[in-house]
A and B are shown apart, each in its own frame.
Chain A
Amino acid sequence: MSNPPGTSPIKVLLVDDEPAIRRALRDTLNELGFSTTETSRGEEALLIAQTKAFDVVLLDINMPGIGGMKTLLRLRALAPSVPILMLTVRDDEEDKIQALEGGADDYITKPFSLRECVARIRSAVRRARTPERAEDAPLSIGEIQVLPARRLVSKSGQPVHLTRKEYDILYYLMTHAGRAVTYGKLLTAVWGSEYHKELDYLRTFVRQLRKKIEDDPSNPKYLLTDAYVGYRFAENPFASDATLEPSSLRRTE
Chain B
Amino acid sequence: MLCAFIHEATQFNPHGHPGAQLADLARRIFQVEAAAIFDADLHEVYRSGEWFDDVKEVLQNICLFGTATDDRETGLIRRVLQMGKLPIGAMLLRGETSVIVANSIASIIAITFDRYHAFANESRTENARQAEQLRTTVLDSLAHAYKTPLTVIEAASSGLAAMGGLTPTQAGLVSLVDEQAKQLSQLTSRLLTTARLEASDLIPKIEAVAIAPLIDDVMASLREQLSGFSVRVVLPNDDVALCCDRSLLVALLTQYLDNAGKYADFGTTIMIQVVEESNAIVFSVRSIGSTIPAGDYERIFDRYYRSSASASIAAGTGVGLSIAKRAAQAHGGNVWVASDAKEGTTFYASLPRLPKGVASP
Contact B144 A32 (CB under 8 A): no
Most buried by B among A32, A219, A224: A219
Q: Give Cα distance in the complex from A111 to B158, angstroms.
A: 11
With A1-B164, A89-B144 as given contacts, are A249 and B154 in contact (CB-CB < 8 Å)? no
Contact A21 B155 (CB under 8 A): yes
A110 contacts which chain B residues (CB < 8 A)? 147-148, 150-151
Contact B179 A25 (CB under 8 A): no
Contact B150 A111 (CB under 8 A): yes
Instruction: For B218, give its contact among A203, A218, A227, A252 (CB under 8 Å).
Output: A227
B151 contacts which chain A residues (CB < 8 A)? 18, 21, 24, 110-112
Q: Give Cα distance in the complex from A247 to B219, angstroms.
A: 11
Contact B162 A114 (CB under 8 A): yes
Instruction: For A28, give its contact among B155, B220, B227, B232 (CB under 8 Å).
Output: B155
State the Cβ distance, B250 to closest chain A Cβ, in Å: 8
Chain B 204-239: CB-based contact to A (< 8 A → 1; otherwise 0)? 000000101100111111011001101111000010
A207 contacts which chain B residues (CB < 8 A)? 212, 238
Q: Is A90 positioned at the interface, with any CB of B under 8 Å from its CB?
A: yes
Contact B164 A114 (CB under 8 A): no
B131 contacts which chain A residues (CB < 8 A)? none
Contact B162 A89 (CB under 8 A): no
Q: Is A251 positioned at the interface, with any CB of B under 8 Å from its CB?
A: yes
Count chain B residues whose beta carbon lies closer than 8 angstroms to a beta carbon of A.
44
Contact B221 A228 (CB under 8 A): yes
Contact A24 B230 (CB under 8 A): no
A1 contacts which chain B residues (CB < 8 A)? 163-164
Q: Give Cα distance in the complex from A62 to B152, angstroms.
A: 16
Instruction: For A115, give its contact among B158, B182, B218 (CB under 8 Å).
Output: B158
Q: Give Cα distance in the complex from A91 to B142, angstroms.
A: 14
Q: Give Cα distance in the complex from A159 to B114, angstroms.
A: 77
Contact B213 A228 (CB under 8 A): no
With A21-B151, A219-B230, A227-B217 as given contacts, are A89 and B159 in contact (CB-CB < 8 Å)? no
Chain A 193-216: CB-based contact to B (< 8 A → 1; otherwise 0)? 000000110011001000000001
B158 contacts which chain A residues (CB < 8 A)? 113-115
Chain A 214-244: CB-based contact to B (< 8 A → 1; otherwise 0)? 0010110000111110000000000000000
Q: Give Cα distance in the complex from A117 to B159, angstroms.
A: 10
Q: Is A20 positioned at the interface, with any CB of B under 8 Å from its CB?
A: yes
Q: Is A44 positioned at the interface, with any CB of B under 8 Å from its CB?
A: no
Q: Give Cα distance in the complex from A199 to B209, angstroms.
A: 11
Chain B, Cβ-Cβ closest to A23 = B152
Instruction: For B152, give its contact among A24, A31, A115 (CB under 8 Å).
Output: A24
Q: Is A118 positioned at the interface, with any CB of B under 8 Å from its CB?
A: yes
Contact B238 A21 (CB under 8 A): no
B181 contacts which chain A residues (CB < 8 A)? 111
Q: Is A131 positioned at the interface, with any CB of B under 8 Å from its CB?
A: no
A216 contacts which chain B residues (CB < 8 A)? 230
Question: Total number of A-B contacts with CB less than 8 angstroms?
Answer: 114
Contact A89 B230 (CB under 8 A): no
Contact A31 B163 (CB under 8 A): yes
Q: Is A143 positioned at the interface, with any CB of B under 8 Å from its CB?
A: no
State the Cβ distance, B299 to closest chain A Cβ, in Å: 27
B159 contacts which chain A residues (CB < 8 A)? 24, 27-28, 31-32, 114
A105 contacts which chain B residues (CB < 8 A)? none
With A21-B152, A252-B179 as given contacts, are A62 and B223 in contact (CB-CB < 8 Å)? no
A23 contacts which chain B residues (CB < 8 A)? 152
Q: Is B137 positioned at the interface, with any CB of A under 8 Å from its CB?
A: no
Most buried by A among B153, B182, B220: B220
In chain A between 17 and 54, which residues have their CB closer than 8 angstroms to a CB of chain B?
18, 20-21, 23-25, 27-28, 31-32
Contact A204 B238 (CB under 8 A): yes
Chain B 230-262: CB-based contact to A (< 8 A → 1; otherwise 0)? 111100001000000000000000000000000
Q: Give Cα distance in the complex from A115 to B159, angstroms.
A: 7
B148 contacts which chain A residues (CB < 8 A)? 18, 20-21, 110
In chain A between 171 and 195, which residues have their CB closer than 8 angstroms to a CB of chain B?
none
Contact B155 A203 (CB under 8 A): no
Q: Give Cα distance in the complex from A32 to B154, angstroms.
A: 16
Contact A228 B217 (CB under 8 A): yes
B227 contacts which chain A residues (CB < 8 A)? 247, 249, 251
State the Cβ distance, B341 to closest chain A Cβ, in Å: 22
State the Cβ distance, A251 to closest chain B Cβ, in Å: 5
Chain A, Cβ-Cβ closest to B210 = A200
In chain B between 132 and 178, which residues have their CB closer than 8 angstroms to a CB of chain A?
143-144, 147-156, 158-164, 178
Most buried by A among B160, B161, B212, B227: B227
Q: Give Cα distance in the complex from A1 to B223, angstroms.
A: 30
B221 contacts which chain A residues (CB < 8 A)? 227-228
Contact B232 A218 (CB under 8 A): yes
B31 contacts which chain A residues (CB < 8 A)? none
State the Cβ distance, A172 to closest chain B Cβ, in Å: 19
Q: Give Cα distance in the complex from A246 to B185, angstroms.
A: 16
Q: List 14 A-B contacts (CB under 8 A).
A: A21-B148, A23-B152, A24-B151, A28-B160, A28-B162, A32-B159, A89-B144, A111-B155, A112-B151, A113-B155, A117-B155, A199-B210, A218-B231, A228-B217
Instruction: Give 9 nearest A-B pairs by CB, closest first.
Output: A28-B159, A227-B221, A225-B220, A113-B158, A227-B220, A111-B151, A114-B158, A24-B155, A111-B154
